[in-house]
Structure 1
Amino acid sequence: MANNQWDDEKVEKLLHSVPKIKDERSSTDILERLKQDERLKQTRRPKMKRWIPSIVAVAALLVFSLLVPSMIKQTNTSHEIGSESLQTNDDFSAKRSMDTDAEVEESSIIESNDAVEPAAFSIRAMMESHVLLLEEAHDALLLPIGLVHEANVVPVTFILSSDEVDENQSDSVALYNKYAAVIDEVGYGFDEYHPYKGEISVSDNTVIHQLPKDHQYDMSTATISVYMNSMKATFTDQERFKVVDTEDKPLAFDYVGEEMADSLEIRLPYFKYTMPSGKVYLVPYENGDSSTVTEALLAMKHAENDIVEEVVPEGVDYKVEVSDEIAILTFDESVDLNALPQNEALEMIEGFMLTANNYGLQIQLNNTEQEHYNKYDLTKPLPKIAGANPIWLP
C-alpha cells in the first residue's frame, strides 16, 4: 500500500512538472479556420414535400380496392371447386389401388386404377358398408369365398368386372377355379388356405370336390369344420357338395365322429369379427338353436364367446315376426341411430340384413327415430343382398 502511495505521489509531481500548453490564437482566428475546413461543409438536404405521403396513401387504397374483389372471387371459386369435388367423390365411383399395409390391407372395398368399378358404388358405401346390395352388383360378377383366419371362416365377396370373364363361366365354381389362386389372402390379413387341394367341379347344382390322398382336411374336428364352413361361404349359388376320391368314388373323412353334411345352406346369425389390424367383418356364427329366422335374429343379442362380438348394442331389445317373406323387427323402445357410433349403427342394420338373407328373407326395422340412415330407407323393407364383406378385386 505504501509503495502504491509513493507511486501516485511521484506521478502527480511529474504531471505538475509538465509545461502547460496555451493557445495564443484569438477567437476570430479560430472561427475563420473552422469556416475554411472542408470537413465541416455539408450539402443542405431538400425538405420533404408533405403532399407525397398523401399520394402514396391514395394509391395504396386504389390497389387494395382492386385486389380485394379478386381475392374474394378466388376464395369463393376455391370453395365451389372443393364442394364440387366432394360432391363428385360422393356420387360417383372411385378407382383405387390395394394397399396391403395394416388396416388398409383389409379394406372393405379395394379399388383398382386398372379396372373400372360398377357405377352404382359410392365412396360412402365402399368405405363403410359390410354388404353388397343386389342393385349395386348388376354390372359385376361376384366371387364369394370363405377366407380363413385362425380357424374362423370369414365370408368375403370379391367383385369382378363383367368384361373380364366369359359369361358362360360366371358361376361360383368357374370363378373360383380361375381366381382363387391369385387372391393374396395373406395380404388381406388371412391365413393361406385357398385354392383347395384337388379339383373342383359342378354338376346339377352340386359342387364336387375330388380330393387327393394327402388332403389333410379331416385331421381333426376343427379342420373338418373349417373346411365345411369355407365351402358353404364360397359356393353360395350351389345347393349341395360332395367329396370324392381320385377315382370319383364317394369319400368319407377318416376322423371318427364327424358327419359330412351335403348342404351348402347357411342358417346362422351374424356377428362382428375383428381382425388383429382392427378391420371388422360381419360373419355367420353358430349361437345355439337358429333353425328359424326369428331364433337367429334374437340370438344376435348375445355372443357365446369372445371370438365374435354382438352387433346389437347392449340394452337394445326387440321382437321379431315374419310376414310375406319379410322379417319384421320392432324395437321395444325407439332407437336413435344417430346417437350410436356410426360404425355400430351400420353394423347392426347390416347384421340384421345378412341374417335375414340367410333364410331367404328381407328385413324391415320398426321404431327407429330416423327414416333414413346411410344408404338405407328405413320406411320399407331393406334391399336384397348380393354378398357380404365386398372387396374389389384388382
Structure 2
Amino acid sequence: MDQKRKDDDDLEKLLHSMPKRRDTRSKEEVLKRLENDERLSPTPVTSLRKKKRIVPLIVAAAVLLVAMLIPSFMNSLDLGEQIADEASMQEKSKGMPEAASEEAEMEGLSKDASTEFAAEKRGVVRDAIYPADLDGGRILHLGLQDVQSVSIPVSVLLTKEQIEAEGLTDSSTDLELYEAFAGLLDAQALGFKPMQPIDADFTEEGDRLNVLLNDAHEYALSTSEQEVFLHSLMQTFPSYLEIHILDSTGNPAEFDQVGQLEPIRRQGAQSHTPYYVYRQENGQELLSPNFMQQADSFEEALRLMQIAPNDLFDPVIPKELEFTVVVKDGIADVEFNDTVQLDSMEMNEASRLIDALTLTAASFDVQLKLSNVEPLDWNGMNFREALPNVLGPNPVSFIQK
C-alpha cells in the first residue's frame, strides 16, 4: 500500500513538473500551416492500416493514464471522508472526554428505561410483578416519597449480577438488600424525592424487624411526617410479620400525637388495603394503597375501589362493572356479571385493573381467580385458573446515583 501511494505521488509530481507550452503564432501563420498540411488534402497520405495502429496506441495511453490516476483520486476522496467524520465526532464530543461522553449516553439510556422491567422485554405490560418476572433476581421493596408528601410503594428489580456484586445471595434477607442498595438508588430519576435512608438502626429476629430510631429523628414533628414514615416503613419491609418501632434504649417509641407506637403486624387491619390509581405531577400513573381506608373484607375493598376516596387517588374499577365475590379455601373468585373483553380496553387500563385486584387480594392473604373474562390467555396470564401470587406493585429498574 505504501509503495502504491509512493508511485501515485511520483506520477503527480511528474505531471506537475512538465513545462507548460504556449502557442505564440499569429492567425495568418496558423491558417497558412493548415493550407499546406497534406493531411487535409483530398487524398489521404496516411494509409488506413497506419491509422488503425495510431488510434489504438492513443487509446491505450489514455486508459493507462486514467488507471494510474484513479487510485490516487479515490484515496483522496476516502481521506476527505475520514477527515470529515473525525471532525464531526470531535464536534459532538467537544469539551467532553470520550469516557465522559459514553457515560452520559449510557446514563440517558438508563434513565429512559427507568420503568422497564423483565416482563416488558417479553411484550408484557404490568403495574405489578409476579414470580415469573424475576428472572433469577430479587425485589428491593421501597416506600418512596412523592412531592405531594405521599409514600408510594415501588418494586426495584435487582439482577442476580447486582446482588452478587454486593456480596449477597438468594438467601439474603430484605433488610440486607435494603442496607446494601437503598442508599445507592437515584429516586429522583424515578420521579420521587431524593431517597433518605430511614434514620434508625435495624435488627432482625426471624420474622420480626426491630427499628431503633436515632434520638435526632424528625418523624414525630407533625402528623403528616408520622404518616409518611409509618407508611414508608410498611411498604419497605412487607415480608416481616411484625415491625417494632423502638427508641434508642430499646423501648417502644412514643410520638406526641399518637403516644406509644404499637407494633405493625402484617396480618392485622393495617394490611387490608384497597389499591387505587395515583397520578404523579409528571403524569405517571402508579398503583398505591390508601392506608387511611382499610376494609373489613376483600369484597368490601373491591367496592371501595370503584369510588375515589379523596383528591389524591382515582378509582381503578369502573363504577358500572358489576361482580360477585366468593372467598373459599384461600381463593377469592371474582365473577363479572357481563363478560369483560380485555382486548377492547386500553392496554394500560386493563393491566392496571388486573394488577390492582391481585395486589388487593394479596393484602387479604387470598389468591385471585377471575371468571367471565376474555380472552382466557392475555398479557402473559391464564384466566382458566387462579392467578399467581403477586410480589409487589410498580416495578422499576435500579438506577444508581
Normalising by the smaller structure, the TM-score range is: 0.5 to 0.7
Q: Shift of residue 256 of structure 1?
A: 4.3
Q: Shift of residue 228 of structure 1?
A: 1.0
Contact 2:114 2:397 in 1 (8 A): no
Contact 1:287 1:303 in 2 (8 A): no
Taking a change above 3 Å as real, the CA distance of residues 355 and 301 of structure 1, as seen in their structure-2 partners, is same
Q: In 1, Cα distance between the equivalents of 2:106 and 2:366?
A: 35
Q: In 2, Cα distance between the equivalents of 1:302 and 1:142?
A: 31
Q: In 1, Cα distance between the equivalents of 2:319 and 2:110?
A: 33
Taking a change above 3 Å as real, the CA distance of residues 231 and 336 of structure 1, as seen in their structure-2 partners, is same
Contact 1:270 1:283 in 2 (8 A): yes
Taking a change above 3 Å as real, the CA distance of residues 194 and 123 of structure 1, as seen in their structure-2 partners, is farther
Q: Shift of residue 343 of structure 1?
A: 0.9
Q: Shift of residue 245 of structure 1?
A: 2.5
Q: In 1, Cα distance between the equivalents of 2:261 and 2:357?
A: 30
Question: How many residues end up aligned between the 2 structures?
Answer: 290
1:3-34 Cα distance to aligned partner (Å, 9 max, x none)? xxxxxxxxxxxxxxxxxxxxxxxxxxxxxxxx
Partner of 1:236: 238
Contact 2:342 2:374 in 1 (8 A): yes
Are 1:148 and 2:150 an aligned pair? no
Letter of the 1:143 counterpart: L
Taking a change above 3 Å as real, the CA distance of residues 392 and 343 of structure 1, as seen in their structure-2 partners, is same
Partner of 2:349: 344
Q: Shift of residue 162 of structure 1?
A: 2.7
Q: In 2, Cα distance between the equivalents of 1:98 and 1:282?
A: 27
1:319-341 Cα distance to aligned partner (Å, 9 max, x none)? 11112211111112122212211
Contact 2:252 2:262 in 1 (8 A): no
Q: Shift of residue 255 of structure 1?
A: 2.5
Partner of 2:198: 196
Partner of 1:377: 382
Contact 2:201 2:213 in 1 (8 A): yes
Among 183, 188, 194, the alignment partner of 1:181 is 183
Contact 1:171 1:237 in 2 (8 A): no
Q: Shift of residue 259 of structure 1?
A: 4.8
Are 1:159 and 2:164 an aligned pair? no
Q: Which is further off, 252-261 or 295-304?
A: 252-261
Q: In 2, Cα distance between the equivalents of 1:98 and 1:343?
A: 27
**Alignment RMSD:** 2.8
Describe how 1:194-273 pairs up with structure 2 within 5 A: 194-256=196-258, 259-265=261-267, 266-273=271-278
- 2:177 match: secondary structure: helix
Q: In 2, Cα distance between the equivalents of 1:272 and 1:309?
A: 5
Q: Shift of residue 212 of structure 1?
A: 1.7
1:19-73 Cα distance to aligned partner (Å, 9 max, x none)? xxxxxxxxxxxxxxxxxxxxxxxxxxxxxxxxxxxxxxxxxxxxxxxxxxxxxxx
Q: In 2, Cα distance between the equivalents of 1:231 and 1:272?
A: 21
Structure 2 gap ranges (5+): 1-104
Letter of the 1:175 counterpart: L
- 2:255 match: secondary structure: coil
Partner of 1:135: 132
1:340-381 Cα distance to aligned partner (Å, 9 max, x none)? 111111110111111111122211111123212211111211
Structure 1 gap ranges (5+): 1-95, 110-116
